[in-house]
């Protein structure tokens, strides 16, 4: 076997793309929230300042993580699962968990709050990366640990309830098993219960069924379940090709709920048009492709699975958010990575990029992963 020849430098294309997305996020968090912030907090910069804080913390953590020995992360593959499971359970503790819109998804300590499910996604990736690098995933029995942790996280998250993050974790579990080399017959055997569980989860809660019906025909309930999707489509449609101009969105004036968070892409489409949407999509594509490239040229399976898993989280969550705001799937509360308002999401995703940057220093100079040959 030939000697491994590492590049030794971080992926600058990945770094610039992520920082550009964060910058776009700051710009549009301000644009989308300025009116709401002025009304409720008397300061149109309220959400921007909080997002700037998250970006600053995320930047520090990202560069710190990019300099840590990647093998050090292996020590936390079990602890990450345990801590994430405990934190996911803590959202149900009165006085600790914070309830918003009928869902308990946050943990609060005074003025500080965070969303454990954001951490759980990447803890799951780390667990899979370490575990699968040690096991022959072609054997069905070896896949049960990955499925067990995935089902545990999905169960805790759906109980909040948080259907969108549950979907992310479920899709991530499938992707990681696929990356691990699970046999197709075993893959389909495990996929069948997931597919069968979808209608059960939908009909288990009336509001989920109402959202599905509103997705199929939003104009049947234009002032209720279909309202948010209709307003999102209004925003995207009115943007045309070039948009109505920065800060000129009309839908953000309390017509479009969660304009600064889950539906910020609609405001981007309204103000910058199809051109701006294509730019954002292209930047995300670059981030994911660079992540996949890092995975494909990693020195071992652990690094390959870790980079592939992080890239998968970014890709899945981005595509789901795009699908929601364009009416391609039923509405779910899911932030757009690096762009939507939310300190927890921003810091966690930037930290994950720090891991990718770290791994990028240790990839092959030439194409083709050494461990595959």
Q: What pLDDT was estimated at residue 193? A: 80
- Which residue would you say has higher pLDDT here, 136 or 197? 136
User: Would you say residue 161 has pLDDT above 50?
Assistant: yes
Dihedral angle over CA of 82, 87, 92, 96, nearest 10: 140
- Which pLDDT band, with edges at 50, 70 and 90, does 214 fall under? confident
pLDDT at 365: 58
Query: Are the CB atoms for 166 and 157 separated by under 8 Å?
Result: yes
Distances (CA, A) of 275 to 245, 250, 279, 314: 12, 19, 6, 22
Name the average pLDDT for the chain.
90
At 98, is the secondary structure helix, strand, or coil?
Answer: strand
Banded model confidence at residue 373, pLDDT cuts 50, 70, 90: very low
35-47 pLDDT, tens digit per residue, is 999 999 999 999 9
- Residue 41 pLDDT: 93
- What per-residue confidence (pLDDT) applies to 368? 52
Q: Give the model confidence (pLDDT) of 20-29 as tens digits.
A: 999 999 999 9
In terms of Cα–Cα distance, which of 193, 224, 199, 200 is closest to 331? 224
Burial 110-142 (b: 16+ CB within 10 A, else e): eeeebbbbbbbbbbbbbbbbbbbbebebeeeeb
Q: Which of 101-105, 147-151, 311-315 has the lowest mean pLDDT?
A: 101-105
Q: Give the rounded distance of the alpha carbon of 5 from its chain centre.
A: 32
Q: Determine which of 197-211, 263-277, 305-319 has the lowest per-residue pLDDT on average.
A: 197-211
| Section 238-262 average pLDDT | 93
Q: How far is CA 171 from CA 146, 167, 182, 279, 325, in A?
A: 13, 6, 15, 26, 19
Q: What is the pLDDT of residue 4?
A: 46
Mean pLDDT of 134-142: 91
pLDDT band at 7 (very low <50, low <70, confident <90, very high): low
Give the bridge partners for 6, in sequence order: 364
| pLDDT score for 95 | 84
In 3D, which of 347, 364, 369, 359 has the Cα closest to residue 50? 347
Kindly state the average pLDDT of the residues 151-166: 91
Q: Looking at residue 209, what is its pLDDT?
A: 76
Percent pLDDT > 90 in the chain is: 69
| Separation between Cα atoms, residue 67 and residue 355, nearest integer Å | 9
What pLDDT is attached to residue 370? 47
**What b/e string do you get for 188-219 counting C-beta neighbours within 10 Å, with b at 16 or more?**
eebbeebeebeeeeeeeeeebeebbebbeebe
In tens, the pLDDT along 37-85 reads 999 999 999 999 999 999 999 999 999 999 998 899 999 999 999 999 9
> Does residue 365 or residue 109 have the better pLDDT?
109
Q: Say how far apart CA 343 and CA 244 lie, in whole Å.
A: 28
Helix (H, G, I), strand (E, B) or coil at 363: coil
d(CA 222, CA 228): 8
Q: Can you read off the two tokens belonging to residue 95?
A: 């006085």
Peptide bond before residue 161 is cis, with ω within 30 degrees of 0? yes
Say which range, 103-107, 125-129, 279-283, 348-352, has the weakest mean pLDDT. 103-107
Q: Which of 103, 126, 117, 113 is nearest to 152 (CA)?
A: 117
Q: List, for residues 94-119, the tens digit of each pLDDT value.
A: 888 888 777 788 898 777 888 999 99
Q: Please determine, for residue 164, whether its predicted confidence score (pLDDT) is greater than 90.
A: no
- Find, among 213, 218, 251, the residue nearest to 232 by Cα: 251
């Amino acid at each position: 076997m030939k000697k491994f020849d590492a590049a030794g430098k971080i992926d600058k294309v990945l770094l610039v793309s992520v920082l550009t997305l964060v910058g776009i996020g700051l710009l549009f968090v301000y644009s989308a929230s300025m009116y709401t912030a002025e009304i409720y907090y008397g300061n149109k910069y309220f959400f921007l300042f909080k997002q700037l804080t998250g970006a600053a913390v995320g930047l520090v953590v990202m560069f710190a993580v990019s300099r840590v020995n990647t093998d050090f992360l292996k020590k936390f593959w079990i602890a990450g699962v345990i801590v994430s499971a405990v934190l996911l359970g803590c959202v149900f503790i009165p006085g600790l968990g914070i309830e918003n819109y009928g869902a308990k998804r946050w943990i609060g300590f005074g003025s500080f709050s965070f969303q454990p499910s954001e951490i759980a996604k990447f803890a799951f990736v780390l667990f899979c990366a370490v575990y699968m690098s040690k096991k022959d995933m072609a054997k069905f029995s070896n896949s049960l640990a990955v499925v067990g942790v995935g089902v545990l996280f999905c169960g805790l998250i759906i109980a909040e309830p948080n259907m969108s993050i549950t979907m992310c974790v479920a899709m991530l579990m499938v992707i990681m098993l696929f990356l691990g080399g699970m046999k197709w017959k075993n893959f389909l055997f495990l996929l069948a219960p997931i597919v069968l569980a979808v209608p059960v989860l939908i009909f288990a809660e009336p509001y989920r069924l109402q959202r599905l019906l509103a997705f199929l025909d939003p104009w049947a309930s234009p002032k209720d379940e279909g309202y948010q999707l209709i307003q999102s489509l209004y925003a995207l449609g009115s943007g045309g090709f070039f948009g109505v101009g920065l800060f000129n969105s009309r839908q953000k004036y309390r017509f479009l709920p969660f304009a600064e968070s889950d539906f910020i892409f609609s405001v981007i489409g309204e103000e910058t048009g199809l051109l701006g949407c294509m730019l954002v999509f292209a930047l995300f594509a670059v981030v994911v492709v660079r992540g996949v490239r890092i995975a494909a040229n990693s020195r071992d399976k652990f690094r390959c699975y870790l980079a592939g898993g992080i890239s998968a989280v970014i890709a899945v969550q981005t595509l789901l958010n795009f699908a929601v705001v364009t009416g391609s799937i039923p509405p779910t509360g899911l932030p757009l990575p690096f762009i939507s308002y939310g300190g927890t999401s921003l810091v966690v995703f930037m930290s994950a990029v720090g891991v990718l940057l770290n791994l990028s220093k240790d990839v092959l100079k030439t194409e083709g992963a050494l461990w595959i040959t």
